Amino acid sequence: MEALLLAWFDTNGRGLPWRGTRDPYAILVSEVMAQQTQVERVVPRWQRWLERWPTIEALAHASAAEVIAEWQGLGYNRRALNLHRAAQHVAAHGWPDDLTELPGVGRYTADAVACFAFGRDVLPVDVNVRRIGERTGATFSSAAAQALMDLGATVCLARIPRCDICPLAGACPSRGRRYEPLRKQGAFEGSFRQRRSLALRAVIAGEEPGDHEAVAALARDGLVLVSESGVSLP
């Protein structure tokens, strides 16, 4: 199956800009940004981020306030703080052998950086890679990592897989099977997540956020500081 997949990838692979680098910092930024964010939204933000902070040392020397402000629009702002802390760790101590030692870096992100930047023989397993493995029953090597991610994102979809154009369909025991809808995250509009976002944007703009509950949640995550003089970025 892997040979069929790689042949498909040669023609159909997505031309994502971070695939043209082996810089672990650039790859780490792409992986953190892509968590729970559509790739199409990530591409221009990744490029802008690297223009502003082209090296991990540059990011490490930025202020947390600058990093939080630059992150706006990507959501889940704790990712920005963790990325900043990871940069500070690497700038001070170098890249650890176990990348999960970095703040906010879990097993998948560690394996992705290890594979794509450091060339280690490890297959990073995200939801797309796991889905293909479960449906096909096949095993794949680290050489197929990018191809698996693209197949899962564009063809072997969660709810209605496009089996008619899948290069693995001929040998896939799940071909043609429909799946129950996955439980989706609640709507952003009107949610507490939206309130947090609006409060943080107000602080960035130098305005009074007003929403004390949202501010308290932001403060617990280290995204804002609350003092007698008001609310500010860290």
Q: Is the domain defined by 120-184 classed in CATH 3.40.50.880?
A: no
The amino acid sitting at 144 is A
Of the listed 2, 31, 134, 189, which one is catalytic? 31
Quote the pTM value: 0.85
pLDDT in tens, 131-159: 999 999 999 999 999 999 999 999 999 98
pLDDT < 70 regions, the chain: 180-186
| CATH number for the domain formed by residue range(s) 23-116 | 1.10.340.30
Q: Where are the domains of the chain?
A: 23-116, 120-184, 192-232
Residue with tokens 């043209």: 20
Does the annotation count 31 as an active-site position?
yes
The amino acid sitting at 80 is A
Distance from C-alpha of 53 to C-alpha of 14, rounded to nearest angstrom: 25
Rounding to the nearest 10 degrees, give the CA dihedral for residues 154, 108, 138, 150: 20
